[in-house]
Amino acid sequence: MKRLFYTVAILLCVLLTSKNGVAQNKPLSLGITSDIQMESPVYIYYGLQGKYDFNPKNAIQAQLGYSNNKIGFLGVDYVHKAFNIGKITNTFIGAGTSFEFLTSESTNYFTLNMQAGFEFNLGRYSPYLGYKPKFYVNTESLDTSNFTLGLRYRL
C-alpha cells in the first residue's frame, strides 16, 4: 500500500508541475492542505494539493497526504467560485471524492465530500478555509465535523 501511495504522489507531482500538457494561459496552483476532524479524537489530515482553474469560476483540485492517525488519502474535488466578497475574497462550493486507507491495516474507505468556504487572493498566494462534511460510503455514515484549510501558490 505504501508503494502505491508513493507512486501516486510522484505521478501527481509530475503531472501538476509539467507545463507541456497545460496551456500557458490556464492558472495552475500548488500548495499545502489540511483537513481537520473536530470530534474526539481530533484527526488532522495534511498533504499536498494541486488546483487547475478551467475558467474564472470552475476548477478541479487533487490532493494527497497523510494523517496523525496513520491514514493516507488521495482525493479529487470540483470547486465552483460562487461569488466575490470585495476584491480579494471569494466564496466557493464544491463536491468530490477521496480514497482513505489505513497504513497499519488493510481497511480502506471511500468518501464523498461536500465543501463550502472562503478563498483569499493575495497576489500569487491563495489561503482558504472551508467546511467539508464527508459521507463514508463503506459504512454509510456522515461525518459533519470536518474543516479544511490550506495555502496555494499560483504558478
CATH number of 2-21+28-154: 2.40.160.20
Say what the pLDDT of residue 1 is.
Answer: 53
User: What burial class does residue 130 get, using C-beta atoms within 10 Å of its C-beta: 0-12 exposed, 13-18 middle, 19+ buried?
Assistant: buried
Q: Is 72 left (phi over 0), alpha (psi -120 to 50) or beta?
A: beta
How far apart are alpha carbons 52 and 133 in whole angstroms? Answer: 22
- What is the full per-residue pLDDT of the chain (155 aa) written as tens digits? 555 555 555 555 554 454 444 433 558 999 999 999 988 788 899 999 999 999 989 999 999 999 998 899 999 999 999 989 888 899 999 999 999 998 888 889 999 999 999 999 998 999 999 999 999 999 999 999 999 999 999 98
3-state class (DSSP) for residue 102: strand
3-state class (DSSP) for residue 55: coil
- Can you read off the three cell numbers belonging to residue 80? 465552483
Name the nearest CA neighbour of 26 among 46, 52, 4: 52
How far apart are alpha carbons 145 and 154 in whole angstroms? Answer: 29
Say what the pLDDT of residue 86 is.
Answer: 86
Domain ranges of the chain: 2-21+28-154
Say what the pLDDT of residue 41 is.
Answer: 83
